[in-house]
Amino acid sequence: MQTILTAQAPNRRSATNSRERHILGGLLHDDKGQSFLLAHAQNHGRRYRYYLSRPNEAASDNSRWRLSAVTIEPVVEQQLHDLLANKTQLSRWLDEHHGSKATADILATAAALSERYRQLDDPIDKYQVLHRVFRRITVKHDQIVFEIAPRNLLAMLSGESLHPEKESSPDIVDLTLAIELKRCGVESRIVLQEAVAPAANKDPMLIAMLARAHMYLEALTDGSNASHADVALRFNAHGPDISRILPMAFLSPKITEAILTGQQPVDLTIAKLTRMLELPMTWSEQHTELLG
């Protein structure tokens, strides 16, 4: 198993390079066949990774997709685990390409690789596995297409080395995942259209903002007669930020729970909440406006 994870691994130039690795670099392509650019953004001292579609001269800049790494990478990783756990599909490919191989051994190796991947911390190791399993991943407005070469995948699981001629012209199988790309400001969010609900997608910054709102409310209502200016000074915050964030303390329990558990709609973001001129007074109205 360790051989699978380390073979042909790229050199690590630095610890920083390792931590900030885009694990889908070179894999993601748009519906025109162009690879996504790798980008970073700095916000409040934190560094965020993005995948950015290339500019289209015939369209406006607003047509470009910017996918947050924390949005797209878990989707691809889940597809990896689903593939390695699909015994029926793997067995069918084994019959077609590796009829003489022990099916049970390769299925066990696939399960072990999936479990081993879950324990990986180094993005470079993750990058290596994903690039050996998937040949290309194409993001379209309504689906993600995963290109897989079964012969190459089975060779990796069985520890074989492919002849270069076979590797350069493999049989390709497309696996598709239905999605919807929704634009949230400059960023695009992925909404899965599968029958199974997506895994929780907690937004740490949104949760932190919600916590601050309740903290500010408590400071204003604890009987000390503190003003907004007093609270701002106490928490080293700007006065306008107190007024901007405070309404979040009056979100309904249902919306609050959705945010804390990561089940909020993809367009329920900090930007949307803080730009609202007025938060609806009743919980039913909040649900209609914020939960859809």
Residue 157, CA distances (Å) to 121, 126, 173 in order: 21, 16, 17
pLDDT, averaged across the chain: 80
Q: 260, exposed or middle or buried, with CB in 10 Å at 0-12, 13-18, 19+?
A: middle
Residue 122, CA distances (Å) to 38, 115, 118 in order: 18, 15, 11
Confidence (pLDDT) at 124: 92
Cα-to-chain-centroid distance, residue 236: 33
Q: Which residues contact 196 (CB under 8 A, 6 or more apart)?
A: none
- C-alpha count within 13 angstroms, C-beta hemisphere, residue 43: 6
The pair of three-digit structure tokens given for residue 181, joined into one six-digit string: 């790309």
Q: Where are the domains of the chain?
A: 2-192, 204-291
Q: Which residues contact 155 (CB under 8 A, 6 or more apart)?
A: 161, 162
How would you write the chain as a 3-class SS string? CHHHHHCCCCCCCCHHHHHCCCCCCCCEECCCCCECEEEEEEECCEEEEEEECCCCCCCCHHHCCEEEHHHHHHHHHHHHHHHHHCHHHHHHHHHHHCCCCCHHHHHHHHHHHHHHHHCCCCHHHHHHHHHHHCCEEEECCCEEEEEECHHHHHHHHHCCCCCHHHHHCCCCEEEEEEEEEEEECCEEEEEECCCCCCCCCCCHHHHHHHHHHHHHHHHHCCCCCCCHHHHHHHCCCCHHHHHHHHHHHHCCHHHHHHHHHCCCCCCCCHHHHHHCCCCCCCHHHHHHHHHC
The angle, 0 to 180 degrees and rounded to 10, between the axes of the packed helices 150-158 and 123-133 is 130
The pair of three-digit structure tokens given for residue 223, joined into one six-digit string: 């009987």
Residue with tokens 């993750």: 126
Instruction: Return d(Cα 39, Cα 233) in angstroms, integer.
Output: 36
Maximum Cα–Cα distance across the chain: 80
Confidence (pLDDT) at 196: 42
Report residue 204: phi and psi, to 5°: -55, -40
User: Tens-of-pLDDT digits for all 292 residues of the chain?
Assistant: 444 444 434 444 433 444 458 999 999 999 889 999 998 887 667 778 889 888 876 555 566 788 888 888 989 999 999 999 988 888 888 877 766 557 888 889 999 999 999 898 889 999 999 999 999 999 988 889 999 988 889 888 888 765 544 444 457 889 988 887 777 665 666 666 554 444 556 788 888 889 888 988 888 888 888 888 888 888 888 888 888 889 999 999 989 988 888 888 877 888 888 888 788 889 989 998 888 7
The pair of three-digit structure tokens given for residue 212, joined into one six-digit string: 């601050």
